[in-house]
Structure 1
């Protein structure tokens, strides 16, 4: 397993045109992401450069966690790290760019068919299962941490909140809250399943912070969850597939 490269800041500035807005492709809680093409031994590689925000007080810990997880654990449904840069107060993580960007950009996309949504769900669960086998909890699964490649295959990222647990050494308070356990990933995955099923985000309105979960459970119990689903998407679903999927998202 090859270690990530320690890439000089001047090289990253060159490929992103000094972090020019024309190369900006997204933003997360911890910072902005820029695209570029980095010359490596195997040729030009499309990369996504995550530039951590200096205002975040746990910036260094998040930086170390992301690099540590992506360096030590490899899976077809996880993003691939190329390198990093810690220079002149800059903390940069360089990953291979996933062509279609985050799932959040495609949630209501007509190209994201029901079969592709199932494919994405299976891919994310496989990656989480792989990590759980090593006692790693992701702790941040959401539609912004899931990226899609050219073939609509899921690649998970966003390991800044991840943690490793040791059997028998978990604080009981965390256990009761479902934090620091696999349950936290399963709860988050349930929300992702709901969003894939309905083709929209869990929050009805970001302005008033309204949440669809309680309404979804009510409709599920009254066998009306299909009313949340886009009619075009619902028409693609086999009834048995829909029933199995909706039960999984409620149970999870």
Structure 2
């Protein structure tokens, strides 16, 4: 691990964090996860008073100093517009605290079932998350790629403009970036439902393990539901349900009802096909994140084109037929 001293410029005193969060007051509490509780507050950073998110380690939840320092090391070395920004940390009086930019819309999991979140917004969020993961897998100027190991909708944060930012790097691993396939023997970690089945069975971690998890998120966004629901049959597990419906050309039965009139057929085909490929059992059959980004951008182009055609037809009062690559309906 890098020398801890190289991060000294990011240190923030505990008294300042307590003042900013009203001593971790309940009114400042905004959420929590596997690392601990998260609070909002105002801190002076670079001589400016700004809103921040403060994540306080709770060792009872299973994470500890290794994850704390991994997060600091990761977010000081890897910076991208689609990765959350670390502003500082505190390691004082037994407390281990991470300070991030404040993202007012919290995380994607809060909006999966939100009928007000349009398909265009959802698609842009997916593209942003994929671009963040693409940067981790193919970083510029380094021979080390980052395997996140816990891609899920709760770890995709959203700013005021709905820009997606990948977060939570405490479980991540480094691997060589100059190889087509990266294999690391690893103790299995991650979140059930999102975790690559092959990784869970063998302990072999690859960059394609992150791809599987991203595919689960893509189907969550499309279907407007979490990857695991309270059913007693195969519908409980979204990856299994989505693969079955895709192969039977019945995706329209699981697409969120609020989205069914919004998605163009070509966009649906392109989006669902790349999501389906992410879930393939054989990691060699899964697309790279670069390919995922390209396909999602193509899906967006189809969506925008369809919108333009429909509005032209309405304005000119004529019927315009949008060419279909495929239909699930």
TM-score (norm 2): 0.71
Deviation of 1:217 after TM superposition, in Å, equals 1.6
SS at match of 1:33: strand
Larger strand proportion, structure 1 or 2? Answer: 1
SS at match of 2:154: coil
Correspondence 1:1-252 to 2 at 5 A: 5-134=10-139, 135-166=145-176, 170-171=183-184, 177=202, 179-205=204-230, 210-252=236-278
Contact 1:3 1:71 in 2 (8 A): no
Q: 1:98 to 1:233 in 2, by over 3 A?
A: same
Deviation track 1:106-129 (CA, whole Å, cap 9, x = no partner) reads: 112233211111111111111111
Question: How far apart, in 2, do the equivalents of 1:141 and 1:63 lie?
Answer: 18
Contact 2:158 2:165 in 1 (8 A): yes
Q: 1:147 to 1:4 in 2, by over 3 A?
A: farther
Contact 1:165 1:180 in 2 (8 A): no
Q: Which moved more, 1:39-48 or 1:150-159?
A: 39-48
Give the unaligned 5+ runs of structure 1: none
Deviation of 1:40 after TM superposition, in Å, equals 2.4
Root-mean-square deviation (CA), in Å?
2.4
Deviation track 1:107-166 (CA, whole Å, cap 9, x = no partner) reads: 122332111111111111111111111311111110110011111110110101111013
Equivalences, count: 251
Deviation track 1:78-99 (CA, whole Å, cap 9, x = no partner) reads: 1111100011111100001111
Question: How far apart, in 2, do the equivalents of 1:4 and 1:53 lie?
Answer: 24
TM-score (norm 1): 0.92
| Higher gyration radius (CA) | 2
Question: How far apart, in 1, do the equivalents of 2:101 and 2:232 lie?
Answer: 34
Q: 1:207 to 1:68 in 2, by over 3 A?
A: farther
SS at match of 1:203: coil
SS at match of 1:204: coil
Contact 1:102 1:143 in 2 (8 A): yes
Question: How far apart, in 1, do the equivalents of 2:31 and 2:186 lie?
Answer: 36
Question: How far apart, in 1, do the equivalents of 2:233 and 2:269 lie?
Answer: 31
Q: 1:143 to 1:69 in 2, by over 3 A?
A: same
Contact 2:35 2:63 in 1 (8 A): no
The structure with higher relative contact order (CA 8 Å, sep 6+) is 1
